[in-house]
Amino acid sequence: MSALLESPTQPAAAAGAVGPAPYRPQPATSFESAGLSPVQVEALVLKYLLGVGSASGRQIADELGMPFAPFPEFLRHLRNQQAVTFSNTAAAGDFVYQLTDTGRERARKYQEECAYVGTAPVPFADYVNAVLAQSITHEHPQEADLRRAFSDLLISEAMFATLGPAINSGRGLFLYGYPGNGKTSIAERITQCFGTTVWIPRTLLAEGQIVKLYDPANHEAIRPRRGGLLRQDDQDDRWVEIKRPTIVAGGELTMESLEIRYDPTTHVSEAPLQMKSNNGTFLIDDFGRQRMQPQELLNRWIVPLEKRHDYLSLPNGKKIRVPFDQLIIFSTNLEPKQLVDEAFLRRIPYKIQAADPTEPMFRQMFERIAPRLGFERFEPAAIDYLIDKHYHSVGRRFRACHPRDLLLQVKNYCTYHGLPLELKPEYLDFAVGNYFTVM
């Protein structure tokens, strides 16, 4: 049994077991140590200058996410080839560069081959090593870690007793139960049990193909980039430190979103969802209601779930072996056995029910959520009235989302009418009338 989020702030949790030292990518000191050829660097520099017109050497280094040290010599080389020229001086012995006619022609040819402009890509092998170094299999959260991660939710002791071993297994689990009982909130807290942050590349270079990995819509960066003279010497901005990811895919999930997607216009690819969720949690929400049949997903993931690696096809026809390092959570309103066969259930060994809250838990949710929403005092009598009239008398089941949603309705009503935030029977009647009109 569980309650939905009660506070917008989520507590950080670190795994209790002592594992290897925290991973941090080694800063590149040269293009060679970054795994970049002179041609790849030239293409990125010229395409960037084609777009912005002119930039200092430090601005170019910042755009590529690289240290400044190797750029002066490289830019002199491009100047000797008459691809760039000086347009002005800049701070700290730097210069402002712009393209020549020859440079613009070369930049356009590079852009036709691949339109990507931005941080230099990280070699795929370095990404694989990073995933393995930060694997969730290195983390063994214990009860104290779970209680920290779930401190803002109401979780029954029975669920705690099952969740702990399931999370430690790292092999995936089914969360099933009625809508509104906090399955998504539980999945988000599970990620926190594996530690706080991981490092991922912004883009990858795999068999000559550019693959975008960092996704601001799904990844939360810890700190902004610092460029220019504020840049730290040990900073490799081709990598970004993020909170361990929790990727959620619902009914919109398709087989295409589980493969590398190629844009034929830009010639740039994007990583699939399971790759973006590496070192974190991948929640398949509302499982069984996707456009594809559950059996299709079984056939696609039967090897990754067993072997913890996946095979993905690149636009050039080559295949790469990618780590499959995340806790897969299937959230469904149906019984798991109604959706998939025994072979699939065997590979997802834990099935946990997000059951309806008991009446004492339901009351406690109101008591805990009301002050957070600004209610000056909690009125137990008002909750007695709500439960007797709108639950017991009509046979309505308790759901973990109801306390928060009904209190928000009351708050909005009071705010609109300029009334003090209070729990009165007539306010609750209004909230119930809106909320349960078609439920």
10-14, 104-108, 405-409: which has the minimum mean pLDDT?
A: 10-14
Structure pTM?
0.82
Tens of pLDDT, residues 383-400:
999 999 999 999 999 999
Which tokens go with 215? 């996704």
- What local confidence, expressed as pLDDT, does residue 234 receive? 57
Average pLDDT value over all residues in the chain: 87
Task: Tell me the CA distances in angstroms from 364 to 220, 371, 377, one per residue in order.
Answer: 32, 12, 14
Residues in Cβ contact with 23 at an 8 Å cutoff, skipping those fewer than 6 apart? 130, 133, 134, 198, 199
Overall average pLDDT of the 331-338 stretch: 76
Task: Note whether 23 and 134 are within 8 A (CB).
Answer: yes
Given a cut of 50, whether residue 137 has pLDDT beyond it is: yes
Which tokens go with 75? 């830019």
Given a cut of 60, whether residue 250 has pLDDT beyond it is: yes
Given a cut of 70, whether residue 438 has pLDDT beyond it is: no
Of the chain, the percentage scoring pLDDT greater than 70 comes to 92
For Cα atoms 160, 165, 167, give the angle at the middle one, nearest 5 degrees: 90
- What local confidence, expressed as pLDDT, does residue 20 receive? 55
Overall average pLDDT of the 162-168 stretch: 86
